[in-house]
Structures are given as C-alpha cells and as structure tokens.
Amino acid sequence: MAVILSLILRRLALSGLILLLVSAIVFVGTEVLPGDALDASIPADELMYYSAADLARMRAELGLDRPAPERFINVFLGLVSFDFGSTLLTREPVINRIWHPMLNSLLMAGVAVILTPLIATALGIAASLRPGGRLDAAVSGGTLFAYSMPDFVVGNVFIIVFALWLGWAPAVLMIAESAPAGQVLAVSVLPVMALAVSGVAYQFRLLRAGLLEARDSEYVERARLSGVPEWRLLMVHALPVALIPMLNGTAQFVAGIISGVVVIEAVFRFPGIGLELIRAIAQREVPTVQAITFLAAFAVILSNLLADIAVLALDPRVRRAGNDR
C-alpha cells in the first residue's frame, strides 16, 4: 500500500508541472500567431471601417490589452480550479461551449478504449495458440500494416469502403452537438472503428510478444510437464503476465487517442471536442483552447496513473522493487 501511495504522490507532483508546461506552451503558441481573437473575428473587408480607437476599446473590453504573463496566470489559475472562464468574443462560459462536444468525444473514445483491449486480447490469444501458423501470420501482418497507417488514411479508407462502396454508414455525420447519447452512438460506428485500428494493432503486438515469452518461461514449462492443457496454460498462466505490458500500451493508446480524436472528427465531421478545438484555434479563443488541452493532458495523466496502479496490482516484482528503494 505504501508503494502505491508513494507512486501516486510522485505522479501528482509531476502532473502539476506537466499541466503548467502544457498550458504555457499552448498559450505561447497562440500568442506568437499574427493578430489576436479580435482580428480573427472581424472579416478583412470590414476591418477598414474600424478606427484605431475603436479597436483599442474593443481589445480593452476583451482583456487583450493586458500583458501576456498576467493573462496566462489568470487563465492557469482558473484551469487548475476547473473554472475555464468565458469565451473572448461571445462571453459565453467555456464549459457551456465545450460541454456537449466533450461528452460526444468521451462517448466515442470510451467505446474505442473498451473495445480495443478486448479485440486485441482475443486476436492475441487466437494467434498465440499456433505460433507461426496461418492465423498468426495473417493477424500479425494485418496489424503491422494497420499500425503503419495514419489516422486520416484509416478514416478515409473506411469512408470509401463502408460508406461509398457498401453504403453501410454515412460518410459525413449530420447530427447536432446536443443530440442524445443513443443517436451519437448510432452514427459513430465508423469513427469508433477508425479510432481503434491503431490501438488494436499496437496492443495485439504487445500481447502476442508477452504471451510467447510467458509460454517459454520455466513456470509454464513445469505446468506443461504436469499435464496442464495448452489452452489452460495460455489463459491461466501466461495471460496474466502478458497483460502487464499491454496495460502500459493501453495508457499509451489513451494518450494517442487524444490526438486521433481531432483527426477522426475532422474526417467524419463528428460533433466532438476535436472540431471545437479546430474552431477555437481558428478564432484565437485562447480560454477555449487552454481548457481543451488542459482536459486532454489531465486525461492522459490519469490514464497513466491508473495503468501504473494496475501494473503494481498484477506484478509483485514491481512492488518488491518499490519496497527495496
């Protein structure tokens, strides 16, 4: 228990630093772009009708005339208290602006995160029953090819095959941001599949390597010599050990799914947080961009923490190593 508590405390301390750095990088990235939120909101053909005094007054009303360090500190203090403030242009609370897109993305990503290890585990077990066989070769080759394809390529291939050729699903999702969860799930089959492809391929390869290594270990060999069936060796003796590297892979997948969501949502026009982030960047809505990136970093940190705790629970060697320090 002390090892787990020490790990959590170290992770929490490091998490605060990571969140500060992420927020600072995003803020600086938006600051170095030409113009500001006011320039992005006024069309170029209308900008000539505003005097310098009008623009200065509007910037003061939006708080854009304050020094950049002061604005960043105010934004960051709000982020760590989960008070994301208001949008610069419409003065709408940021949480209201991102709430429905965030729920839609969480719904899509949550289904992908649940299905990915289940599919990868089933494929890993099936391929490891006959290492080097036809099924093993087919699945290993297919996952290697799938893992090498970028998310936008996978999304477009799915649109071409399943939407245009087969007509099983719409190519573009025409659904409102505030639609009920059931409707969102009904139209998000292709985005979920596209989002899970690289994760399934990556986790399958981790699991397969772990299963093959565990099957050749001494304790599995002793169980085999005692007459334990091969399927039981795989499921009871080898699988728990092989799941440990795959759990770390799941945390890596959750980190990758954050960036994948932006790409997949742009390809399918999914009404999620990825499209909202693109819109906010285009309009220079720094509070909205900061809120989305802060929540994304928070999700990655949380997933890695849960993966570390799961590894501690499954692998006694890690616990002993922590006690020896």
Q: Cα separation of 252 and 276, whole Å?
A: 24
**Per-residue model confidence (pLDDT) at position 324:** 52
Number of neighbouring beta carbons within 10 Å of residue 71: 17
* Lowest mean per-residue pLDDT among 62-71, 123-132, 273-282: 62-71
Contact 237, 219 (CB under 8 A): yes
Topology adopted by domain 99-282: MetI-like fold (1.10.3720)
Token pair of 210 as six digits: 């772990």
Token pair of 266, please? 């742009």
The confidence score (pLDDT) of residue 318 equals 52
pLDDT at residue 131 in the model: 82
What is the mean pLDDT of the segment spanning 298-323?
67
pLDDT of residue 172: 76
Q: Which residue has the higher pLDDT, 34 or 196?
A: 196
43 contacts: CB under 8 Å, gap ≥ 6: none
Percent of the chain whose predicted confidence (pLDDT) is above 90: 2
pLDDT, greater one: 27 or 1: 27
Say whether pLDDT at 69 is over 80.
yes
The distance of Cα 263 from the centroid of its chain, to the nearest Å, equals: 11
The burial of 18, by beta-carbon neighbours within 10 Å (0-12 exposed, 13-18 middle, 19 or more buried), is given as middle
Q: How confident is the model at residue 316 (pLDDT cuts 50, 70, 90)?
A: low
Cβ(35)–Cβ(47) under 8 Å?
no
pLDDT bin (cut points 50, 70, 90) of residue 225 is confident
Give residue 313's pLDDT band: very low, low, confident or very high (50, 70, 90). Answer: low
pLDDT band at 311; cut points 50, 70, 90: low
Report pLDDT for 76. Answer: 82
Percentage of the chain exceeding pLDDT 70: 88
Q: Which residues pair with 93 in a beta bridge?
A: 86
| Domain parsing of the chain, residue ranges | 99-282
Mean pLDDT, the chain, as a whole number? 80
- 23-37, 50-64, 116-130: range with highest mean pLDDT: 116-130
Read off the DSSP letter of residue 42: S
Write out pLDDT tens, residues 175-211.
888 888 888 888 888 888 888 888 888 888 888 888 8
**pLDDT tens for residues 237-276?**
777 777 777 776 666 777 777 778 888 888 888 888 888 8
| Residue 53 token pair | 């005094």
Residue 233 has pLDDT above 70, yes or no: yes
Position 314 scores a pLDDT of 61
Q: Each residue of 296-311: b (16+ CB within 10 Å) or e?
A: bbbbbbebbbebbebb
Among 101-115, 191-205, 294-308, the least confident range: 294-308
* Selection from 36-45, 230-239, 265-274 with the highest mean pLDDT: 265-274
Over residues 209-226, mean pLDDT: 78
Confidence band for 91, pLDDT divided at 50, 70 and 90: confident
What is the full DSSP assignment across 44-110?
HHHHTTS-HHHHHHHHHHHTTTS-HHHHHHHHHHHHHTT---B-TTT--BHHHHHHHHHHHHHHHHH
